Amino acid sequence: MKRQALHSLLEKYLENKCSQEELIVIEKLYSMLDRDDLEEIYPNELPTLEQKLWDRINLETGSSNQVHVSTPHPDRVKRLPLLAWFAAAALLALTLVTGYLFLNNHQDPQYLKFQALTTILEKKNNTSAPIRINLEDGSVVILQPSSSLSYPEHFSAQTREVSLQGEGYFLISKNPHRPFFVYNKNVITRVVGTSFIIKSDPAAEETQVIVKTGKVMVCLNKDQHLNLKHLFNQDKKVMLTPNQKTTYKKDNDDFETTLVADPLPIVPVNPNLHKAAYVFEEAPLTEVLNQLQTTYGIAFIIEDQELYNNTFTGDISKQNLYQKLDLLCHTIKAHYEIAGTKIIIKTK
């Protein structure tokens, strides 16, 4: 078996396209490696893993061109528990050796997906204005000056992955079966279909994720090795919805999640309907807050019981959210506080 043939065979296995005979070959190859080799894989060990596999193939067959396999009855072929780990690890090793490894161009630790990618493109914005990058799945990235984006020419069948340095605004095409991952020095952001901003400040060693639409999950990018079991299966992770942002700060090694500076309506605004919705006459406080929650997707909490007796009359259709709240609270002699991703209404 030539290396290119092995590469193709492993790809077919990961895509569940192997015939029964090919599954037998994969199992034979798997048996040539110790299972301990596959528990944790460090990037600098991948060439060693690839060479170890190839040496054992040559040792058992006496040839670098063929792998002889005694063929058992197909009914007795059984996939081993870690066989997929083997296929992915071996394929990734081959990929690294042939120069196709994705996201291995940076010194900072990153989680690397087990997938073979043909061509990795890198776009740097050396201009003074944002530039638009169109990805093959229909997603768009608006890359800010002094920022760079690494991405594959063709995404894999299972996931879509890019690596960002600096700041980018992402408009991701929706595909529940192919989640989108953005790798950054400090965090990994996972989405299905949404729009969001990622900002990095290397000097302050902090990263900020701001959600415009949809949902985004953010976790720390700490793993120095390739271990699928650890991705998003950790205590420090954040789920964000529209008008929310989270900031990871290296000095306290944690996320700080709150509202964005200027929350926007989470659904397209019809000017006539919006005006009608925000002209109130003797409306209970709960009615006004429910309308705000519907428009902005933000939870409001009335802390003091006596505030429930208040009503509001006025037109607050032209103001932004915080201006609306200022007018509302001034009228009912209250004030508001932002607590995380919620807004609390209190008596003065």
pLDDT at 295: 95
Each residue's pLDDT tens digit, 51-82: 555 565 555 444 444 444 334 444 433 444 44
Sign of the dihedral through C-alpha 5, 6, 11, 13:
positive
Query: Is the CA virtual torsion 274, 278, 281, 285 positive or negative?
Result: positive
Span of 64-68, 188-192, 254-258 with lowest mean pLDDT: 64-68
- Flag whether pLDDT at 310 surpasses 50: yes
Predicted local confidence at residue 143, as pLDDT = 96
* Beta strand spans in 57-194 (E): 120-124, 131-134, 140-143, 148-152, 160-165, 168-171, 180-183, 187-191
Instruction: Give 219's pLDDT tier (boundaries 50, 70, 90).
Output: confident
Mean pLDDT rounded to a whole number for the chain: 76
Please give the CATH topology (third level) of the domain spanning 271-347.
Answer: Phage tail protein beta-alpha-beta fold (3.55.50)
Are 242 and 213 in contact, with CB atoms under 8 Å apart? yes
Residue 41's pLDDT band (cuts 50, 70, 90): very low
The whole-number pLDDT of residue 117 equals: 42
Rounded to whole angstroms, the Cα distance separating 192 from 190 reads: 7
* Residue 107 structure tokens: 């010194």
Average pLDDT on 126-141 reads 96
List, in sequence order, every residue forming a beta bridge with 197; answer none if it has no partner: 169, 210
Residue 346 in tokens = 């209190």
Q: pLDDT tens digits for 141-162? A: 999 999 999 998 888 888 898 9
Residues 6+ apart with CB under 8 A from 55: none
> Collapsing DSSP states into helix, strand and coil, what is residue 89?
helix
Contact 261, 247 (CB under 8 A): no
Higher pLDDT, 289 or 68: 289
For the record, the structure tokens of 339 come out as 């607590």
Residue 278 above 90 pLDDT? yes
Order of strands across the sheet with 131-134?
131-134, 140-143, 168-171, 195-201, 206-213, 244-249, 254-259
Q: Comparing 25-34, 98-107, 246-255, which segment has the lowest mean pLDDT?
A: 98-107
Tokens 């990058």: give the residue.
133
Is the per-residue pLDDT at 343 higher than 80?
Answer: yes
| Per-residue pLDDT at 301 exceeds 60 | yes
**Close Cβ partners of 93 (under 8 Å, ≥ 6 residues apart):** 46, 47, 49, 50, 53
Q: Give yes or no for a contact between 186 and 204, defined as CB atoms under 8 angstroms apart.
A: no
Listed in order, the ranges of the chain carrying CATH 3.55.50.30 are 271-347
DSSP 283: E
Q: How confident is the model at residue 48 (pLDDT cuts 50, 70, 90)?
A: low
- Where residue 227 falls among pLDDT bands split at 50, 70, 90? very low
Class of domain 120-259: mainly beta
pLDDT of residue 2: 53
**Given this model, what pLDDT does residue 13 score?**
61
Give the pLDDT mean for 162-187. 91
Task: Name which of 50-54, 106-110, 249-253, 338-342 the model is least confident about.
Answer: 106-110
In whole angstroms, what is the distance from residue 216 CA to residue 184 CA? 15
The answer for 58, left when phi > 0, alpha when psi is -120 to 50, beta otherwise, is alpha
Considering only 32-36, 66-70, 162-166, 198-202, which range has the smallest mean pLDDT? 66-70
Instruction: Give the closest residue to 295 by CA, choosing from 266, 316, 268.
Output: 266
Residue 224: per-residue pLDDT? 41
Q: Looking at residue 280, what is its pLDDT?
A: 96
First-to-last alpha carbon distance for the chain, in angstroms, is: 78
pTM, two decimal places: 0.64
pLDDT for 329 beyond 90: yes
User: 200 and 240 in contact (C-beta within 8 Å)?
Assistant: no
E runs forming strands in the chain: 120-124, 131-134, 140-143, 148-152, 160-165, 168-171, 180-183, 187-191, 195-201, 206-213, 216-220, 237-240, 244-249, 254-259, 279-284, 299-302, 311-315, 334-339, 342-347
Q: What does DSSP say about strands 216-220 and 148-152: parallel, antiparallel, or unpaired?
A: unpaired
